[in-house]
Amino acid sequence: MTDEPTQVQHPARAAVRSTAATLVGLGPLVPLLVANLGQTRAAIVLAAALAGNAVITRVLALPEVEAWLQRALPVLAATTAAIPGRHRRDEQ
């Protein structure tokens, strides 16, 4: 067993999961986009949003980026050190 978060262990899976969640979130906007932009432009906007999400998720899953996030921006890291008093298990 490794100490790496699952996003780092399986970066493609993390990207697919995140992209699927983005698609679900953008789903209600599709009719609005089509009505205002037309089918072709709406498809381009959606494809760009989904591709951008996948790329960003994949970059965030790099071990080097995860290590940097843990040091510099722990709130964005996949795993962080436990902070006493900040977790429900600490209160039990």
Rounded Cα–Cα distance for residues 26 and 29 (Å): 5
Q: What is the pLDDT of residues 50-71, one digit of tens each?
A: 999 999 999 999 999 999 998 8
pLDDT (0 to 100) of residue 23 = 93
pLDDT (0 to 100) of residue 42 = 96
pLDDT (0 to 100) of residue 2 = 66
Per-residue pLDDT at 19 exceeds 80: yes
Q: Where are the domains of the chain?
A: 7-79
Locus of tokens 């494809």: 47
Locus of tokens 């996030």: 69
pLDDT (0 to 100) of residue 76 = 85
Per-residue pLDDT band at 84 (split at 50, 70, 90): low
